[in-house]
Amino acid sequence: MEFSTKLGTLDSTIFIVYVIGLLCLALWISRNEKKEGVNTEDYFLASKSLPWWAIGASLIAANISAEQIIGMSGSGYAIGLAIASYEWMAAITLVLVGKYMLPIFLENKIFTMPQYLEQRFDNKVKTTIAIFWLAVYTFVNLTAVLWLGGLAIETVAGVDWMIGMIFLAVFSVAYSLYGGLKAVAFTDILQVVLLVFGGLLLSYLALDAVADGQGVLAGFMVLTDKMPGHFDMILSPENQHYMSLPGISVLIGGMWVMNFSYWGFNQYIIQRALAAKDIKEAQKGIAFAAYLKLLMPLIVVVPGIAAIILYPSLTTPDQAYPSMMALMPVGIKGLVFAALVAAIVSSLASMTNSISTIFTMDIYTRFKPNQSQRHYVFIGRVSVLVSLCIALVVAQPLLGQFDQAFQYIQEFTGFFTPGIVVIFVLGMFWKRATSTGALSAAVGSAVFSLILKFAWPELPFMDRVGLVFLLCLLLCYFVSILGKPITTDSSVNLEQVNFSTAQSFNISAIGVVVILAALYATWW
């Protein structure tokens, strides 16, 4: 059976209508901003007014982008269902973040994660981590999303990848630059609906095609029968991809460190929860996001596995998802392509909004204090444009040679995330931690990671992340104990924080645990 990967006239028309509609929606959402100029809380934290459904949808829209849809689908093609551990373990991580970490951040009334580090430690720790995040967001996250998005547009629409990247950058700026986080979060609701609908439809068509029209269940049985190794959640040491997902470590090792860093201390993710009306609303939004995460592997991983049968001769795994778009009938293909672009531009808008928040509130205000609110918002908008221009220039040189961009992103960030997690966890739950101890963990994370990578190359990177976390934990502990107790701590005391949660949140948390246990018991 032959399929066309290019968009027809009807597909292109649907896509154009979607783009125009989204821009109009964003402008409509932003229309109520004060005529005299939006202030920093309005622009960076959506006036602290987000309801739970907007928080949950926006969390997923910010998270699910090109590196998830295309990159994780590519890893599904190469590795199998085991890559879904990143999604499923994230669900329980979200629950823990909502229960134990989010109340601390909201009680401290912060705009950014580095701002909390300034309250807890000092300006040196804040500035160090702020500069690190600005570099990672610009040179890793933005570049990856733009690069993979450009490749997807080239594969599906036949447009040159560079033109595709420029379109994505301009599109994300057009609907987010004026309204800030408020415009991003509320348009994300539409994005997620479209993403879930398009992803489920593609999975349905892929499984049906695998079974030669015999239905979804038959298609799934074909996949499990022909490729049983692609349905092992816990890889054995003999598996060729063991270095990427080292067996039981996905349940008890370094993946916890990666997940807590991403979902608990990552500005462009946690910023949605910081913008909630109150703590209960934020926790409901996080629980909603957790259930959406449980659904994601069906949307992104299963099509990648099905592509092995339907497109066995792909040159790189990351071509799996764009190639599967060819299964779509005319008209629907344009809608699903819109869903893919929706995910990409939503993440771009989320990342650039967080870059502007960190740069403006953590770096710029230190050198230019006491400026007007209008001035700070203007600087935030300029930083959005600058970061996107940098990412456009460096995307191809940095990522052009990698076959599985998702794994590259995980390994690169794994050099630094152990130290980040140590700094926040000890900062929140151990008052004796000092700023010198925190900085030693930040530096030690990179140093230990580099040493282990070259001295112990056969150590899987996820195990390396777990080991480096323990080393950084010990380093921060001993450096803090040997130094003088900190005197600049202005963060709230844990006795002032209410960690109790509503019954609905508790029931949701139990549901996540039960579903996860069933999934891993089925495909152990």
Lowest mean pLDDT among 139-148, 386-395, 450-459, 471-480: 139-148
Q: Is residue 258 part of a domain?
A: yes
Same domain, 425 and 400: no
Q: What is the DSSP string of 93-118?
A: HHHHIIIIIHHHHHHTT-SSHHHHHH
pLDDT for 481-497, tens place per residue? 999 998 889 999 998 89
**Residue 303 pLDDT grade (very low, low, confident, very high; cuts 50, 70, 90):** very high
Lowest mean pLDDT among 21-25, 96-100, 232-236, 305-309: 21-25
Same domain, 464 and 354: no
Residue 261: half-sphere exposure toward Cβ, Cα within 13 Å: 24
Q: Is residue 77 part of a domain?
A: yes
Same domain, 324 and 425: no
Q: 50 - beta bridge partners?
A: 276
Note whether 106 and 279 are within 8 A (CB): yes
Same domain, 406 and 336: yes
Same domain, 424 and 285: no
Q: Is residue 1 part of a domain?
A: no
Same domain, 358 and 433: no
Question: Residue 416: which region, alpha, beta or left (left: phi > 0; alpha: psi -120 to 50)?
Answer: alpha
Q: Is residue 358 part of a domain?
A: yes
pLDDT for 417-434, tens place per residue? 999 999 999 999 999 999
**Alpha-carbon radius of gyration of the chain:** 22
| Residue of 195, 198, 418 whose CA lies nearest to 293 | 195
Note whether 6 and 326 are within 8 A (CB): no
Q: Is residue 41 part of a domain?
A: yes
Number of domains in the chain: 2
Residue 248: give the domain boundaries.
9-413+483-487+499-522
Note whether 166 and 15 are within 8 A (CB): no
Q: Is residue 493 part of a domain?
A: no
Same domain, 371 and 463: no
**To which residue do tokens 């609303």 refer?**
281
Q: Is residue 2 part of a domain?
A: no
**To which residue do tokens 């209508």 refer?**
17
**To which residue do tokens 């999975």 refer?**
203
Q: What span, in angstroms and rounded, lies between the C-alpha atoms of 92 and 261? A: 14
Tokens of 227: 């490729």
Handedness of CA 43, 116, 415, 93 (dihedral sign): negative
Q: Is residue 320 part of a domain?
A: yes
| Residue of 388, 274, 283 whose CA lies nearest to 40 | 274
Same domain, 394 and 506: yes
pLDDT above 80 for 46: no
**To which residue do tokens 């495909």 refer?**
523
Average pLDDT, rounded, for the chain: 88
Q: What span, in angstroms and rounded, lies between the C-alpha atoms of 310 and 307? A: 5
Q: What span, in angstroms and rounded, lies between the C-alpha atoms of 355 and 326? A: 36
Same domain, 439 and 469: yes
Average confidence (pLDDT) over 106-117 = 92
pLDDT above 90 for 466: yes
Same domain, 390 and 315: yes
**To which residue do tokens 């979804």 refer?**
216
| Secondary structure class of 328 (helix, strand, coil) | coil
Same domain, 405 and 280: yes
Tell me phi and psi for residue 391, to 5 degrees: -65, -40
- Kindly report the CATH number assigned to the domain that includes residue 223: 1.20.1730.10
pLDDT for 169-191, tens place per residue? 998 888 777 767 777 788 888 88
pTM of the model: 0.89
Same domain, 294 and 323: yes
**Residue 218 pLDDT grade (very low, low, confident, very high; cuts 50, 70, 90):** very high
End-to-end CA distance of the chain: 34
pLDDT score, position 36:
41
CB atoms within 10 A of CB 514: 10
**Residue 356 pLDDT grade (very low, low, confident, very high; cuts 50, 70, 90):** very high
